[in-house]
Amino acid sequence: MSGALIILATLGTSLFTAVMIFLLPERAFRARTGLNLGAALVKLGLVAWMVWGLSRGREYTLAFPVLEGLAFVLRTDSLGIMFAGLSSLLWLFTTVYAIGYLEDSPNRKRFFGFFSLCVASTLGISLAGNLFTLLVFYELLTLSTYPLVVHRGTAKALAAGKVYLRFTLPAGLVLMIGMVALHALAGDIRFGQQEILAELAPGRRPLLVGIFWVLIVGFGVKAALVPLHGWLPRAMVAPAPVSALLHAVAVVKAGAFGIVRLVYDIYGVELSAELGLLHGLVAVASVTILYGSLRALAQQELKPRLAYSTVSQVSYIVLGIGLFGPLGTIAALSHLLHQGLMKSTLFFCAGNYAEELGIHRIDELDGAGRRMPLTSLAFSVGALGMIGVPPVVGFLSKWYLGTGAIQADMPWVIVVLLASSLLNAAYFLPILGRLWFRPGPDHGVGEWPAERRPVRLETLAWLLVPAVATALFSLMAGVLAGMPFSPLEWTTRVVNTEYLP
């Protein structure tokens, strides 16, 4: 199959699914489910094909001019395909989860349609070959997530959608202005052509610094950098699969991925270090990490706590980017994947508690481990990973961040990491304690807020399997980190082949 065709097919899978779902009637549950799952599997297969091809040195490119001197470019490089792999994998799980989660709820057609569109945008972001293409899909993502955020149609959901747009639309605009300015300055820069900016006249350097920060503000809103994070906790009113998707792959990661592209593929890490941009990034990331953790500590409900935890965790990626050196890069790129796996696990589990037992507050979780052992086990794996306990993947991220900080000669970053780990422990361990060590309704103390009719398993298989699977993946990705094609191994390969400073 030719390169352009396979890229088109990969992108088209989701787009086609979206269109088909919009065309199908609301009640065609089976057809929709089949379509969703089939497309997710096909896409996963295509991405796997491309990964395999890429590891054998093949290139897949699709490009055509949009304007004079500006092209629409889709291209697979190892970084992009990594993100694409993550999104296709998690799409599969999230789709399965969403099918179970939205059982019997209205507007499923709309939900799944935009859901597919959202995934198509994410894939587009990951395969984009220049900033213009990235922006196209970035904004498409904003648009396609809005209906998901307001899906419930309640006043709260609509308010959250409003806040979401208030943050993301201006950010997209700022991003666009930064990109146009960069384009006016240096023309169309494909990802990987770091030399273009590096060879720019020294007099343009201050301008470059300015544009960089403008772009960071643009990406920072989606990446939820403090003080641009305000939309994220509000967006929690969305259904659980949406939260999982927003937090683990789509929106938040799109921002972080954008920053990765910006630093490594446009400016180049050396130029960024030379311009003193990385120190600023590290400072912003550190503040975000600590602030997010502190706010998470103060939350009394499960999903907001997870949301603030995301604020904190995603900044690890930015922190890793700011650490000049291969280890920092590995940390940033691998955390992109690791956080996705762990966070989606946590949100799946939170959704399971809400769906099965009606639990929203943390103090209602007492003894839920006995009632829903597998869910709770998955949750524990995710939470321990977030704290950084081996062998869950979170440990590897922390490890590379810490060693990367030493390598970049910023030992104080370790203090940030340590403080964040302690705070993570402080807000996750009490939850685990409640799950496993407190007597709850299943021990005859009190009763669940809203228990659903019992099923054979602890909850619907549609809900249980994705949670357990992502938990397993985050465990396996940690334990088998040295295996070929594990996230860590792949990022190491990416860094060694493409981003060695």
Partner 1 sequence: MSASLDALLCVQTTVLWLALLAPSLLGLWAWRFPPQRMLPVLLAGLPLPLATLWLLHRVSVGGEFEGAWSPGGLLLHWRLDGLAGLLLLLTQLLLLASATYAVGHRRATTLAECAFAGFWPLLGGLAAALGLIWVAADLLILYAALELMGLCAVGMMLLPGKGEALVAGMRYLLYALVGSLAWLLGVALLLGSSGRLDLAGLAATTEPGPVTGIAMALLATGLLLKAAIFPLHGWLAPVHASAWPSVSALHGALVVKASFFILMQLWQRLMPEAVAAAWLLGLLGSLAVLWGGLQAWRASDLKQMVAWSTVGQLGYLMLAFPLLAGTSVAVATLAWQATWLQLAGHALAKAAMFMAAGNLVLSAGESRLTGLAGASRRLPLPLMTFGIAAVTLMGLPPSAGFTAKWLLLQAAILAGQWLWVAVLMAGTLLAAAYVFRVLRCAFVETAPCHEVRPLPAGMDLMALLLALGALGLGLGAEWPLALLREGGRP
Partner 2 sequence: MSDALFALALPTALLWPLVLMLRVSLTVARTERGQPRALLDGLWCTAPLPALALALGSDEGALALDWWLLGGRWMLDGTRGPLLAFTALLWLLAGGYARGYLAGEQARAVAGDGAAEVRLTRFALLWPLTLSGNLLLLVAEDIASFYLGFAVMTFAAYGLVVHAETRDARTGGRAYLVMAVLGEGLILAGLLWGAGSAGTTMLDGLREGMLEAPGGAWMGLLLWLGFGVKAGVVGLHFWLPLAHPVAPTPASAVLSGVMIKAGLVGWLSTLPLGEPTAGETFVWLGRAMLVAGLAAAIGAALYGVCQRHPKVVLAYSSVSQMGMATALVAMGLVAPTLWPTLSAAVVLFAAHHGLTKGALFLGVGIGKHPPRLPTWLLWTLLALPALSLTGALASGLAAKWAVKAVLYDGGYPTMVTGLSLAAVGTTALMARTLWCQWQGKGQAREEGLEPLMSPMPLAWLATLLAALTLPWWLGGELMVRGWPPLDELSGLLWPLALGLVGAVTAWSVARRRPLRLTWRLPPGDLWWPLVRSGQRLRTRAQGSLDRLGSAQGAWVAWWVARERDAIRALDGMTRGEGWLRRHAAVLMMGLAVGLALLNVFAPA
Binding positions for partner 1, rule: CB under 8 A: 22, 64-68, 70, 72, 106-107, 109-110, 132, 135-137, 139-140, 142-143, 146-147, 150, 152-154, 158, 161-162, 165, 169-170, 172-173, 176-177, 180-181, 183-184
Instruction: Please identify, using beta-carbon distances, which residue of 69 and 444 lies nearer to partner 2.
Output: 444
* Long-range CB contacts (within 8 A, 24+) of 184-188: 185/211, 187/69, 188/69, 188/70, 188/71, 188/130, 188/132
Instruction: Please identify, using beta-carbon distances, which residue of 23 and 418 lies nearer to partner 2.
Output: 418
Q: Within its chain, how far is the Cα of 203 from the centroid?
A: 37
Binding status of residue 481 toward partner 2 by CB under 8 A: yes
* 31 contact choice in partner 1, partner 2, none (CB below 5 to 8 Å, kind-dependent): none
Instruction: Please identify, using beta-carbon distances, which residue of 188 and 458 lies nearer to partner 2.
Output: 458
Would you give the DSSP letter of residue 452? P
* 335 contact choice in partner 2, partner 1, none (CB below 5 to 8 Å, kind-dependent): none
* 300 contact choice in partner 2, partner 1, none (CB below 5 to 8 Å, kind-dependent): none
* 406 contact choice in partner 1, partner 2, none (CB below 5 to 8 Å, kind-dependent): partner 2
Instruction: Report residue 108: phi and psi, to 5°.
Output: -70, -35
Nearest Cα residue to 350 out of 485, 261, 239:
239
Binding status of residue 411 toward partner 2 by CB under 8 A: yes
Instruction: Please identify, using beta-carbon distances, which residue of 57 and 64 lies nearer to partner 1.
Output: 64
- What is the residue-wise DSSP string for 172-240? HHHHHHHHHHHHHHH---BTT-THHHHTS-GGGHHHHHHHHHHHHHHHHHHTT-TTS-THHHHGGGS-H
**Whole-number minimum distance, CB 2 to partner 2, in Å?**
35
* 140 contact choice in partner 2, partner 1, none (CB below 5 to 8 Å, kind-dependent): partner 1
Residues in contact with partner 2, shown as a per-residue x/- string from 317 to 356 under the rule CB under 8 A: ----------x-----------------------------
* 19 contact choice in partner 2, partner 1, none (CB below 5 to 8 Å, kind-dependent): none
CA distances from 421 to 86, 318, 429 (A): 25, 17, 11
Q: From the list 45, 439, 446, 454, which residue makes contact with partner 2 (rule: CB under 8 A)?
A: 439
Would you give the DSSP letter of residue 354? I
Stretch that binds partner 2, among 50-58, 89-97, 148-156, 431-439 (CB under 8 A): 431-439
Number of residues that bind partner 2 (CB under 8 A): 43
Residues with Cβ within 8 Å of residue 402, at least 6 apart in sequence: 413, 414, 417
* 398 contact choice in partner 2, partner 1, none (CB below 5 to 8 Å, kind-dependent): partner 2
Over the range 452-466, which residues count as b (16 or more CB within 10 Å of their CB) and which as e? Answer: eeeeeebbbebbbbb
Binding status of residue 390 toward partner 2 by CB under 8 A: yes
Instruction: Please identify, using beta-carbon distances, which residue of 109 and 335 lies nearer to partner 1.
Output: 109
- For the record, the structure tokens of 469 come out as 């699977």
Binding status of residue 425 toward partner 2 by CB under 8 A: yes
**Residues belonging to the chain:** 501
Would you give the DSSP letter of residue 195? H
At residue 213, the 3 state secondary structure works out as helix
Cβ distance 476 to 488 under 8 Å? Answer: no
Binding status of residue 444 toward partner 2 by CB under 8 A: yes
Instruction: Please identify, using beta-carbon distances, which residue of 121 and 492 lies nearer to partner 1.
Output: 121
* 183 contact choice in partner 2, partner 1, none (CB below 5 to 8 Å, kind-dependent): partner 1
How many other C-beta atoms can be found within 10 angstroms of the C-beta atom of residue 117? 24
Instruction: Report residue 107: phi and psi, to 5°.
Output: 65, 30
Instruction: Report residue 444: phi and psi, to 5°.
Output: 90, 15
Specify which residues 410 forms β-bridges with. Answer: none
What is the CA angle 52-246-123, rounded to 5? Answer: 30
- Tell me how far apart the alpha carbons of residues 390 and 474 are, in angstroms, rounded to a whole number: 11
Binding status of residue 267 toward partner 2 by CB under 8 A: no
Binding status of residue 479 toward partner 2 by CB under 8 A: yes
Instruction: Report residue 61: phi and psi, to 5°.
Output: -135, 145
Chain residues in the site for partner 2 (CB under 8 A):
294-295, 297-298, 327, 370, 384, 388-391, 395-396, 398-399, 402-407, 411, 414-415, 417-418, 421-422, 425-426, 429, 433, 436-437, 439, 443-444, 478-483
